[in-house]
Amino acid sequence: MQSEFGRVSKVITERECLTIFMKENIMRKVLVALAIAAVLAIPTVAQAEVYEEGSCSAGNFSISFSNATFTAGIGWSTGSARTVAFQGSCNGCSWGPGVYGWWRNPLVEYYIGKSGGSSQGSYSCDGTSYTLYVDRRYNQPSIDGYQDFDQYNCSGQMSGQKDMSCHFNAWSNMGRGPGNHDYMIVSLEGFNGNSGSGSVGCTGSNWYQHWNNGGSSTFNCGGGPTSSSTTTTSGYTTTTSGYTTTTSGTGSNSIVVRARGTNGSEHIYLSVGGSQIASWTLSTSMSNYSASTNNTGGSLVCFDNDQSGRDVQVDYITVNGSTRQAENQSYNTGVWQDGSCGGEYSEWLHCNGCIGFGDIGGGGSTTTTSGYTTTTTSGGTTTTTSSWWWGGGGWWW
């Protein structure tokens, strides 16, 4: 009977009063089975209890319910320390959408975004703070029938992406688990006469369960929010699908050339990967000249209008904020050394020629994803995007 009583336990343990109600409700069935219903003069449950589970490849669901006690969720039949990215909403639910699941050894029922019990301390995950409360349950329905077990109620933000690895580690640091995972879902719950509708999408999930025991609720695979992608162009492409973000393409390299001329008419250009990126006419004071490029490969700063009285001094260049000193470069075809044009390790270009500043890579893209926000730093350009969802008649993020 673990399947029925176990799956319903999330409802039963929601609140003390509801626990009592549900316990009585289930006990009622037992009593009915013992043919004492007439003695107690309690009507038998009119609606058949329904439990269903299975595959929902859409990764999202919608549900409508009337005068119902129900739970419905989408997730994984076996939980793990994964990141759970979800969105959804519900009108008329008593709880959810939120992350909910079970362990064995120890037997634990957990909720993210719920309070009740004795505080075990606070911790930070998902960019926000939570407090773990533990509520000891005695002889209550569980995934293994009626048992004594702990209910972990994590008070804090219910919505948004959850790094369950972070939560489980925090609990473990408090001496609480981890246990062996049973199911882990993003669920909606209703009690004793709730009416309304809701929908939930959960990235990467394809397993659902739905339990109804009173009133009616209709589960539909699909019809909920779906993860989407966004593209940002700044010399590279960012694709966000749920909580997974990939960055591809060449980065936008930001380059600064610091230089001067001896008479202020010198002309120089910057070349990256064999192409001229930018050119400038210098002044007689050291100045910064900026350029950006998606090109990668070898970089050169070249002097190309040498005449009598014209010389160029290049102090350094910076590539995405990192300095490369001219005097540290071994490639210099414009410095006058040993009686001819060309040499090494000099800031000077006395002749037409170039200082080679080495290769420039793909912009040094780094991508970090935090909650629903993705920050990409590429070539000195920082782009922040939010993954978004469509569902329930509006945009979510």
**Nearer of residues 84 and 326 to Ca ion, judged by Cβ:** 326
- Show contacts with Ca ion in window 345-364 (CB under 5 A): 350
Other C-beta atoms within 10 Å of 216: how many? 14
Give the shortest CB-303-to-Ca ion separation in angstroms: 8
Which residue's Cβ lies closest to Ca ion? 315
Binding test (CB under 5 A) with Ca ion, winner from 226, 230, 325, 337: 325
Applying CB under 5 A, which part among 10-18, 34-42, 184-192, 305-313 lies near Ca ion?
305-313
- What is the smallest separation between the CB atom of 161 and Ca ion, expressed in angstroms? 47
Question: What would the two tokens of residue 169 be?
Answer: 């580690």
Choose, by CB under 5 A, the member of 72, 164, 311, 374 that binds Ca ion: 311
DSSP at 328: G
| Under 8 Å between Cβ of 248 and 90 | no
Q: Should residue 114 be labelled a site residue for Ca ion when binding is judged by CB under 5 A?
A: no
Residue 199 or 346: the one with the smaller Cβ distance to Ca ion is 346
Q: How far is the CB of 266 from Ca ion (least distance, A)?
A: 9
Catalytic residues: 109, 189
Q: Which of 315, 361, 367, 383 binds Ca ion (CB under 5 A)?
A: 315
Q: How far is the CB of 349 from Ca ion (least distance, A)?
A: 8
Looking at the Cβ atoms of 333 and 377, the one nearer to Ca ion is: 333
Residues with Cβ within 8 Å of 292's Cβ and at least 6 positions away in sequence, in order, are 252, 253, 254, 255, 379, 380, 381
- The bridge status of strand 145-155 relative to strand 216-221 is unpaired
What does the DSSP assignment read for 269-301? Answer: EEEETTEEEEEEE--SS-EEEEEEES--EEEEE
For residues 115 to 154, the per-residue mask of contacts with Ca ion, x marking binding by CB under 5 A and - elsewhere, is ----------------------------------------
Give the shortest CB-352-to-Ca ion separation in angstroms: 8
Residues 6 or more apart whose CB falls under 8 angstroms from that of 76 comprise 82, 183, 184, 185, 205, 207
Using CB atoms within 10 Å of the CB of residue 99, give its burial: 0 to 12 exposed, 13 to 18 middle, 19+ buried: buried
Region of 28-36, 200-208, 227-235, 312-320 interacting with Ca ion (CB under 5 A): 312-320
Asked if the peptide bond before residue 178 counts as cis, ω within 30 degrees of 0, the response is yes
Q: Nearer Cβ to Ca ion, position 99 or 312?
A: 312
Asked if 79 contacts 110 with a C-beta cutoff of 8 angstroms, the reply is: no
Residues 31-90 that bind Ca ion (CB under 5 A): none
Choice between 259 and 360, CB closer to Ca ion: 259
Beta bridge partners of 343: 332
**CB burial class (10 A; 0-12, 13-18, 19+) of residue 279?**
middle
Cβ at position 164, least distance to Ca ion in Å = 51
Q: Residue 3's Cα: distance from chain center in Å?
A: 32
> Which residues are at the interface with Ca ion (CB under 5 A)?
306, 311, 315-316, 325, 350
